[in-house]
Structure 1
Amino acid sequence: MSEKRVRSPIIRARRSGRTGRQRQRARAAVPSFFTLMNLLAGFFSIIQTSNGNLEAAAWLVVLGAFFDLFDGIMARLAGVSSEFGVELDSLSDVVSFGVAPSFLLYEFGLNQLGPMWGALLASLPALFGAVRLAKFNTLASSGEKSSEFIGLPIPAQAGTVVVFILTFYDAQWFNVLARPQISVLITLVLVLSALMVSPVRFPALPQPSPSNLREYRGRFLLFGLALVLGIVFQEVGLLISALVYLAIGLGKTLGWVYRVATQDPDAEAVPVEAEP
């Protein structure tokens, strides 16, 4: 009897430890599920593009963006964060926001440049997006976090591409004018690819909380306005929102460069990147 009394607390402690680890693994599996759904949406987008369904392919990238948003939310709610989750998220983002939009751009119009030059140009968002994610993973593990991204986030690049395609997919005047269409697409690809690996600072939307809502009120208002524009004006509203976001990042960085050039002591150093 005495031996059972001594052993039973030890057994209960071991069982409790196993239960705690199982719960931890279960909580960690939830955000990973959303991450894999993001990857799956990107894969289906590539399939739809290969079948000629460009509009469906573009909306699947948008669906992947929602899954990408929710995996971060679920990770914060569950209080779990791991190197495995970070790497899985980056791999999924390369497919959904790099390869899928690149293939979309090729089939939407860059194939008119020929199989070699068109494919090379279309590959830039995927290539620069992979570099951007590798750079983020390196910087995120060192230094203090800030409220801004360094370089255009790859989901923002993909979002700009797909809303552009959705806006002009049925615009007959845009499809008829082959030369202007190619010029616009080339400019879009080059600008977005360069911005992903540039030092241009773009505002990040912090996790909603009473303090963040007060401190970053303007950002939350702009985010709400972008949602309203998307609901009311659909693709055109989302395209306007994407262009405004790009303009904000470029404007802030140009202002910072001007202050540094004029030796303004209030001009701060470029911060380490925020979490996506």
Structure 2
Amino acid sequence: MKKHIPNIITLLNLLSGLIACIYAFDDNIQMAFFWVCIGIFFDYWDGFVARILNVKSEMGLQLDSLADMVTSGVVPGLVVYKMLANIQENQEIYNLTPETYYMGVVPYLGFIITLGAAHRLAKFNIDTRQTDSFIGLPTPGNALFILSLPMIINTTSSEFLINTISNPYVLVVISLLSAYIMNAELPLFSLKIKPNNLGAFKLQLVFIILSIVLLIALKYIAIPLIILLYIFLSIGKNLSTSKA
């Protein structure tokens, strides 16, 4: 029976992603964000439980990626699609017309994120280098980055942030960069910390502390900053390692 426990947790991740999709279709981004966070929570614990129970399996690995494909692949692509499709009042500002925009392909460019996530997850399953660290931004981190954007729009009073994030050109560029960074040959440090050897995880501890401070101070605005901090700290670690 215990071998099925991690897979049940993984399926709860998938269920969370499906619920998030429904809320995204209804333009309830706050609830979509909430359910993606729940899904990512399950995504973290399924692997942890599998290791604790010593029941890691090939099926669990594949099922995990299939669940992530929905929660961290389909949902962020759908959210950007909805953001692009809902831009109506700013058509004239961006020189857009219904013929060139809504009847065109622009909103569907948000699904570039989904395609990038699918490629990353497939590559992850066959890449033996990503056992203790990551190469390219993991899909859950990318999903949090993307879903934080509409949350920032809904909660900030900064006209600059609202106008910047609402700009369709910016959203398309973010979608392209998102797909790229998930699949880039960029080593990123793992966030797994072993309590019996905290000294070897100073970078992870610093990152976690800074992330908590940013979240308390900036709330949703902190999320994209945390993802960028993660990337830049990893680049710094890679450069220092190569020089050593």
Same fold (TM over 0.5): yes
> What's 1:220 paired with?
205
> What's 2:114 paired with?
126
- Structure 2: distance between partners of 1:111 and 1:210: 50
Counterpart among 200, 222, 244 of residue 237 in structure 1: 222
Pairing 1:28–2:14 present: no
- Structure 1: distance between partners of 2:28 and 2:199: 43
> What's 2:41 paired with?
66
Cα displacement (A) at 1:176: 6.6
- Structure 1: distance between partners of 2:154 and 2:85: 14
Answer whether contact 1:94 1:129 (CA < 8 A) is retained. yes
Pairing 1:53–2:28 present: yes
| Inter-CA distance 115–228: structure 2 relative to 1 (3 Å threshold) | farther
Cα displacement (A) at 1:60: 1.3
Deviations 1:148-172, CA, capped at 9 Å, x for gaps = 3111111111111112221223446
Instruction: Give the TM-score normalised by the residue count of structure 2.
Output: 0.83
Instruction: Give the TM-score normalised by the residue count of structure 1.
Output: 0.74
Counterpart among 153, 157, 165 of residue 138 in structure 2: 153
Structure whose CA Rg is larger = 1
Identity %: 28
Counterpart among 153, 175, 181 of residue 195 in structure 1: 181
Show structure 1 runs of 5+ residues with no match.
1-25, 267-276
Secondary structure of the 2:127 match is helix
Superposition RMSD in Å: 2.6
Answer whether contact 2:73 2:143 (CA < 8 A) is retained. yes
Aligned pairs, how many? 230
> What's 1:139 paired with?
127
Deviations 1:37-94, CA, capped at 9 Å, x for gaps = 1111110111011112112112211111111111122112212100111111000000
Show structure 2 runs of 5+ residues with no match.
88-100
Secondary structure of the 1:177 match is helix
- Structure 1: distance between partners of 2:165 and 2:43: 35
- Structure 1: distance between partners of 2:234 and 2:152: 23
Cα displacement (A) at 1:109: 2.8
Answer whether contact 1:58 1:165 (CA < 8 A) is retained. no
Answer whether contact 1:132 1:197 (CA < 8 A) is retained. yes
